[in-house]
């Protein structure tokens, strides 16, 4: 008896949702009844499951599904879009652009392809291109996906009211999965948090947790808010829950910092070791891996930032940041490189980079803090005061350690 292919694919998707690891891949993927569109749906399911769990092992499953679809139909545009999504998620933006471009060459009205090209442009620091790509995506399909991407870009480039407005439109539009709306709510919560608006930030995070209670990103965002409120016990619990689901850089670092400031130094050191291991692991398809198997072993701005923030391996931090900046000239990498120059005592070079970063007007208190500290070392008291005050006025608890440093330096400058 031959099973209907629609039944097969639905069974597979159900198995993916409940047990990604124990899923019997070969018996499903070699079934002659499945067509290219079925494999695309399967790949999309793996990628969505990754968004929900941050389990990078799912990349290999998604890649296999999309590859099988392309074997069956080499011109299947949604399989190409899937490959672009996969490669962007692994930070291989050159490959992501290639796949999206191939899809658009066949069908120039693919909203998802334009959105993915915009994502790559944002990560590479090509913001003018990103605006054009996202605008095209919104023109083709004004929905949660296009609204939320445009909102993030507007926030990065300093238009906070428009960013919040568009993110609210994304939430109102809704998505096919609860996680999609929860992600938008958590991003909106972060926007409010960066402006020091803790009540609306927490309100959005609570709603996000109701929609996706086991999503590591959403849990970490609420952890950030609790940290800003100095509710450290609750924050530690939230980060720990996120890490239990899937250890990630931000949660591990934040948990380590909270352990450090609450006197739990051995536990802090354990988390910091896990952060470093996360980036130096050679496990295939590790989102944070910087080993030889990873497409971006030329630099690691995230690890460089961790080293600089924690005064560790400072020469190596600078090297990693410089290498990352050669190809990824985005705001985060630019700010990180400026901070690494500062930590290595190269203040003039730090100033050049932080000045370029400030031109984007990103409402991130950490950027203003870095600027203030750099100008303080250069003896420019007015500029140092300006940016340190700006950091603290945006969010007086922007970091569990550095917010206090900013306040102390600003107080010292005021008495000079």
Both ends of the chain: CA-CA distance in Å? 87
User: What is residue 245's predicted lDDT score, i.e. its pLDDT?
Assistant: 92
User: What is residue 247's predicted lDDT score, i.e. its pLDDT?
Assistant: 93
Residue with tokens 């917010």: 403
Residue with tokens 């300006």: 386
Q: Mind giving me the DSSP string for 152-214?
A: HHHHHTT-HHHHHHHHHHHHHH--SSHHHHHHHHHHHHHHHHHTT-HHHHHHHHHHHHHH-TT
The Cα–Cα gap between 94 and 232 comes to 41
The Cα–Cα gap between 59 and 47 comes to 7
Domain range list for the chain: 200-280
HSE-CB at 195 with a 13 A cutoff on CA atoms is: 18
The Cα–Cα gap between 407 and 151 comes to 31
Q: Which two tokens stand for residue 378?
A: 């250069």
The answer to whether 111 and 144 have CB atoms below 8 angstroms apart is no
Alpha-carbon dihedral sign for residues 121, 123, 126, 132: positive
CA angle 153, 227, 361 (to 5 degrees): 25
- In this structure, the dihedral spanned by the alpha carbons of residues 166, 175, 188 and 250, taken in order and rounded to 10 degrees, is -130
Closest-CA residue to 361 (of 182, 223, 154): 154
pLDDT single digits (tens) 68-110? 999 999 999 999 999 999 999 888 999 999 999 999 999 999 9
Helices 144-156 and 111-123 meet at what angle, rounded to 10?
Answer: 20
User: What is residue 376's predicted lDDT score, i.e. its pLDDT?
Assistant: 98
Question: 0.85 cut: is pTM over it?
Answer: yes
User: pLDDT averaged over the chain?
Assistant: 89
List Cβ neighbours of 322 (8 Å cut-off, separation of 6 or more).
Answer: 299, 337, 340
Residue with tokens 């550095």: 402
Backbone angles phi, psi at 246, to 5 degrees: -160, 115
User: What is residue 147's predicted lDDT score, i.e. its pLDDT?
Assistant: 98
List Cβ neighbours of 411 (8 Å cut-off, separation of 6 or more).
Answer: none
- Walk along the chain (416 residues) and give the pLDDT tens digit of each residue: 333 333 333 334 443 443 343 443 433 355 677 899 999 999 999 998 887 777 778 888 999 999 999 999 999 999 999 999 999 988 899 999 999 999 999 999 999 999 999 999 999 999 999 999 999 999 999 999 999 999 999 999 999 999 999 999 999 999 888 889 999 999 999 999 999 999 999 999 999 999 999 999 999 999 999 999 999 999 999 999 999 999 999 999 999 999 999 999 999 999 999 999 999 876 544 444 333 233 344 469 999 999 999 999 999 999 999 999 999 999 999 999 999 999 999 999 999 999 999 999 999 999 999 999 999 999 999 999 999 999 999 999 999 999 999 999 999 999 98
CA angle 159, 367, 239 (to 5 degrees): 95
The CATH number given to 200-280 is 1.25.40.10
Backbone angles phi, psi at 76, to 5 degrees: -75, 105
User: What is residue 51's predicted lDDT score, i.e. its pLDDT?
Assistant: 78
Listed as own residue / partner, the contacts of 157-165 with beta carbons closer than 8 Å and 24 or more positions apart are 157/127, 157/360, 157/361, 157/362, 158/360, 158/361, 158/362, 158/363, 160/191, 160/195, 160/363, 163/191, 164/188, 164/191, 164/192
pLDDT single digits (tens) 277-333? 999 876 544 444 333 233 344 469 999 999 999 999 999 999 999 999 999 999 999
The answer to whether 170 and 184 have CB atoms below 8 angstroms apart is yes
Alpha-carbon dihedral sign for residues 169, 172, 175, 181: positive
Q: Which two tokens stand for residue 323?
A: 């290498």
HSE-CB at 336 with a 13 A cutoff on CA atoms is: 28
The Cα–Cα gap between 160 and 261 comes to 31
The Cα–Cα gap between 154 and 170 comes to 14
The Cα–Cα gap between 135 and 146 comes to 8
């Amino acid at each position: 008896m031959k099973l209907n292919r629609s039944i097969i694919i639905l069974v597979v998707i159900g198995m993916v949702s409940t047990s990604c690891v124990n899923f019997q891949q070969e018996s499903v993927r070699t079934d002659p009844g499945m067509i290219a569109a079925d494999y695309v749906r399967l790949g999309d399911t793996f990628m969505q499951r990754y968004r929900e769990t941050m389990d990078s092992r799912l990349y290999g499953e998604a890649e296999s599904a999309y590859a099988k679809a392309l074997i069956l139909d080499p011109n299947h545009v949604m399989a190409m879009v899937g490959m672009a999504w996969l490669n962007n998620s692994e930070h291989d933006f050159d490959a992501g652009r290639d796949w999206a471009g191939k899809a658009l060459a066949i069908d120039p009205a693919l909203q998802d392809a334009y959105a993915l090209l915009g994502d790559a442009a944002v990560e590479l620091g090509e913001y003018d291109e990103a605006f054009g790509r996202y605008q095209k995506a919104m023109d083709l399909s004004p929905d949660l996906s296009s609204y939320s991407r445009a909102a993030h870009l507007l926030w990065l480039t300093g238009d906070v009211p428009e960013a919040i407005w568009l993110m609210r439109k994304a939430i109102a539009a809704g998505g096919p999965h609860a996680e999609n709306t929860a992600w938008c709510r958590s991003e909106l919560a972060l926007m409010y948090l960066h402006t020091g608006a803790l009540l609306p930030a927490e309100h959005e995070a609570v709603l996000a947790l109701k929609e996706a209670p086991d999503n590591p990103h959403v849990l970490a965002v609420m952890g950030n808010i609790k940290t800003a409120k100095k509710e450290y016990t609750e924050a530690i619990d939230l980060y720990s829950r996120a890490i239990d689901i899937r250890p990630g850089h931000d949660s591990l670092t934040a948990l380590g910092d909270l352990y450090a400031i609450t006197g739990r130094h051995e536990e802090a050191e354990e988390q910091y070791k896990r952060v470093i291991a996360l980036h130096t692991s050679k496990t295939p398809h590790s989102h944070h891996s910087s080993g030889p198997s990873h497409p971006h072993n030329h630099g690691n701005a995230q690890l460089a930032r961790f080293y600089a923030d924690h005064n560790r391996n400072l020469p190596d931090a600078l090297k990693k940041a410089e290498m990352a900046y050669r190809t990824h000239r985005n705001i985060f990498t630019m700010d990180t490189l400026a901070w690494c120059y500062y930590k290595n005592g190269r203040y003039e070079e730090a100033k050049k980079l932080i000045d370029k970063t400030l031109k984007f007007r990103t409402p991130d208190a950490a950027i203003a803090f870095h600027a203030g500290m750099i100008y303080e070392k250069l003896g420019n008291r007015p500029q140092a005061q300006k940016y340190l005050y700006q950091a603290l006025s945006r969010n007086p608890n922007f970091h569990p350690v550095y917010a206090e440093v900013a306040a102390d330096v600003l107080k010292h400058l005021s008495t000079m």
